[in-house]
Copies of this chain bind each other. A is one copy, B any other.
Amino acid sequence: MSDLPKYTALTPDIIERIRQAVGPDAVDLSPEALDEAARDASTEVHAPVAIVRVTTVDQIQALLKLANELNFPVTPRGAGTGLAGGALAVDGGVVLALAGMNRILSVDEKNLIAVVESGVIVADLQAAARAKGLSYPPDPASLDTATIGGTAATNAGGPACVKYGVTKHYVLGLEAVLPTGELVGAGTATRKGVVGYDLAQLLVGSEGTLGVITKLILKLIPLPEETCSQVAVFADLETAMGAVSAIMAGGVTPSAVEFLDSRCLHLVGDLLPFGDLPPAGALLLVETDGAKGAARAEMERVGAICSEQGALHLLPAGDEAQRQELWGVRRQVSLRIHDSAPIYVPEDVVLPLASIAEFVGRLPELAECHGLTIYAFGHSGDGNIHINVTAGEGQEASVEACVLELLKLVLTMGGTMSGEHGIGVAKKRFLPLELSAPSMRVQRDLKRVFDPKGILNPGKLFS
């Protein structure tokens, strides 16, 4: 923020204008609601002045037209599960709450598509698809609460993306209200389409800065008949990553290949039935899915490859309950890391597959040098590593220095600073490390095409 106020303050008069535009019941000024809207799953806190809870496209159009006219900022928000502060009102103004736009308009098993409003919760769509024998694969960790619109705005991923692709691969078309208040359709309701620039894909991953997505046309796939899981423990991460390569080169595309580095493994070692975990050990959690029998055959192959590659322990899940137990171990990792230290910064880098082990191997030295602890786990099949830098009170400066060094190392090794969480406000200061000046300029100009007055989700990405 510059020193001079860039935006008009939301005076009672302006609040009244907003009430007239969107309807009086849509405006929420209660301190509890404002406090809740000030937070997401990042560590940032930025309170809005008002929340507008919409259920119709007309309300969104009216609000954004007014924001243009009167010059106040509007920040779209789904469920607030983002990890980069993308839904926080860093310049105050209005939080546009989309959770009430939550109708599943159709799950069309003949055309293998779903049409949903953007406030639909991912798990609700998945359940509706499953009821018709279909699957919507993107599976971010927050899927029980995250909205489809939020996951589209951030192009969210998840464990299944190694086989099925990320959110953008499932968005065939969408409708969005542009910051100027105009409603546009983009993309198609078909499985292919090349008419004009790909505005749908441009809006996906734009973190709510180019438009407010109101409706999505999503690709569905037939529901796999069976899913098999197995845990494998290796002497070290390099050996484990060798097994991942061998699995993928062996013609098996697993539907998940999660890894835990040795620090994470030992953090949850008590949950595993193995007596002797190797000091530098690493764990893989592999899943296969597909037609009845085929997934099981693939998992047997995965087990054989892991053994050949030196797995010390193998633990296949015999049934769904055991499968959930294995994922429970994976989920405990995050919780226990959070509990382990007062400061906790999640990074979300991506490395070329062949560099994962080397990169993770350099983390202990980096941590030691800054007096911190670093945990690494994540999606080894697509190189997306969740790095958790933890520290004690007062170590903020060390964390910042360590993160900067970490991101530089990622970029030096051919990686990228975010695989699924996005930039938002939390990583905005690091953008110039990765993007060139001409790229930044073009992206700022693109933003201006959509949002000439800069009223939509300011303070994020390039603005």
Query: Residues of A with Cβ closer than 8 Å to B?
Result: 108-113, 133, 154-155, 157, 161-162, 165-166, 168-169, 178, 182-186, 188-199, 201-202, 204-206, 210, 221-222, 224-225, 245, 248-253, 290-292, 294, 297-298, 350-355, 379, 382-384, 414-423, 431, 434-436, 438-440, 442-443, 445-446, 449-450, 461-462
Find out whether the CB atom of A191 lies under 8 angstroms from the CB atom of B436: no
Closest residue of B by beta carbon distance from A384: B192
Minimum CB–CB distance for A197 against chain B, Å: 5
Name which of A184, A221, A384, A417 has the most chain B CB atoms within 10 A of its CB.
Answer: A184
Decide: B178 and A251 in contact? CB cutoff 8 A. Answer: no
Q: A182-B438, A183-B438 are in contact. List 16 more A-B contacts (CB 8 A).
A: A108-B354, A110-B352, A155-B198, A184-B439, A190-B350, A190-B414, A191-B350, A191-B353, A192-B420, A193-B419, A195-B417, A196-B431, A196-B440, A197-B446, A225-B251, A445-B449
Residues of B within 8 A of A113 (CB): 352
- Say whether B198 contacts A205, CB under 8 Å: yes
Contact A449–B442 (Cβ < 8 Å): yes
A202, B205: Cβ atoms closer than 8 Å: no
Q: Judging by beta carbons under 8 Å apart, are B449 and A184 in contact?
A: no
Closest Cβ of chain B to A143, distance in Å, is 17
How long is the Cα–Cα vector from A356 to B112 in the complex, in angstroms? 14
Known pairs A197-B446, A353-B110; A190 contacts B383 (CB<8 A): yes
Residue pair B450, A449 in contact (C-beta under 8 Å) = no
- Measured CB to CB, the closest approach of chain B to A41, in angstroms, equals 16
Which B residue sits closest to A417, measured CB to CB? B195
A-B contact pairs, 27 of them (CB 8 A): A133-B249, A154-B194, A165-B165, A168-B201, A184-B436, A185-B436, A188-B350, A190-B352, A190-B416, A191-B353, A192-B416, A194-B419, A195-B418, A195-B423, A195-B431, A197-B206, A197-B210, A198-B202, A199-B443, A201-B201, A222-B253, A224-B251, A225-B251, A251-B292, A442-B449, A445-B449, A449-B449
Asked if residues A442 and B198 are in contact (CB atoms below 8 Å), the reply is no
Residue of A188, A419, A440 most packed against chain B (CB within 10 A): A188
Q: Which residues of B contact A189 (CB under 8 A)?
A: 352, 414-415
Contact A442 B431 (CB under 8 A): no
Which chain B residues border A443 with CB–CB below 8 Å? 196-197, 199
Q: How many whole Å from A138's CB to the nearest CB in chain B?
A: 12
Would you give the shortest CB distance from A191 to chain B, in whole angstroms? 4
Contact B222 A435 (CB under 8 A): no
A419 near B190 with CB under 8 A, answer yes
Query: Bound state CA distance, A452 and B260, in angstroms?
Result: 49
Q: Of B155, B161, B165, which one neighbours A169 at CB under 8 angstroms?
A: B165
A384–B245 CA distance with the chains assembled, in angstroms: 35
Give which listed residue, B201, B420, B423, contacts A202 with CB less than 8 A: B201
Q: Which residues of B contact A461 (CB under 8 A)?
A: 196-197
Q: How far is A192 from B164 in the complex, measured between Cα atoms in Å? A: 12
A258 to chain B, nearest CB (A): 14
Q: In the bound complex, do residue B188 and residue A416 qualify as a contact, i.e. CB atoms below 8 Å apart? A: yes
Q: Which residues of B contact A421 (CB under 8 A)?
A: 194
Instruction: Give A382 to B189 CA distance when docked, in angstroms.
Output: 11
Which of A165, A249, A420: most chain B CB closer than 10 A?
A249
Partner of A438, one of B154, B184, B206, B436: B184
Check A201 against B199 for contact (C-beta < 8 Å).
no
Nearest 7 CB-CB pairings of A with B = A110-B354, A192-B419, A190-B350, A191-B382, A193-B416, A251-B291, A445-B449
Name which residue of chain B comes closest to A301, CB basis.
B291
In the bound complex, CA of A298 to CA of B292 (Å):
12
Tell me how far the C-beta of A39 lies from the nearest C-beta in chain B, rounded to whole angstroms. 22
